[in-house]
Amino acid sequence: MTAGPDRPYDPGLQPERTLLAWRRTALALAVVSAAIARYAGDRLGLVTAALVGAAGVVGAAWAYHRATQRYRRVHLWLHREDTLAGDGLAFAVASASLGLVAVVAAVYVLQVGLERLA
């Protein structure tokens, strides 16, 4: 059985596993970002929480879309060239979105902790 553009290139399906991992990561980032927008408004301000939540969801959606595009490009590239080439743009955007969410979550936790100490 020969591999064609309509069949997976890799018998171990590594590109497919990578795509699924990126999709899970993007989904988790979107959920956490939406939770920040929903629950952190009283502590961080509605506008700040909404902006952070929206930025996280947009970043997650973009990373999800980019991962799908990259999978398609890699799939075709492997069939054509038999080598793997790629960039780290989706990783950088997802990391930046996650970093933003982490900073806001840390501020939220610190505010709640300081209020309980007072």
Percent of the chain with pLDDT over 90: 14
The pLDDT confidence band at residue 102, using thresholds 50, 70 and 90, is confident
Do 106 and 52 form a contact (C-beta atoms < 8 A)?
Answer: no
Could you tell me which residue, 109 or 2, shows the higher pLDDT? 109
Average pLDDT score over residue span 99-115: 87
- Is residue 24 scored above 90 in pLDDT? yes
CA distance 117 to 40: 19
Q: Is the pTM of this model over 0.85?
A: no
Distances (CA, A) of 46 to 13, 34, 80, 97, 105: 44, 13, 50, 19, 15
Q: pLDDT (tens digit, 9 = 90+) per residue, 29-74?
A: 899 889 888 888 888 888 988 998 899 899 899 989 988 888 888 7
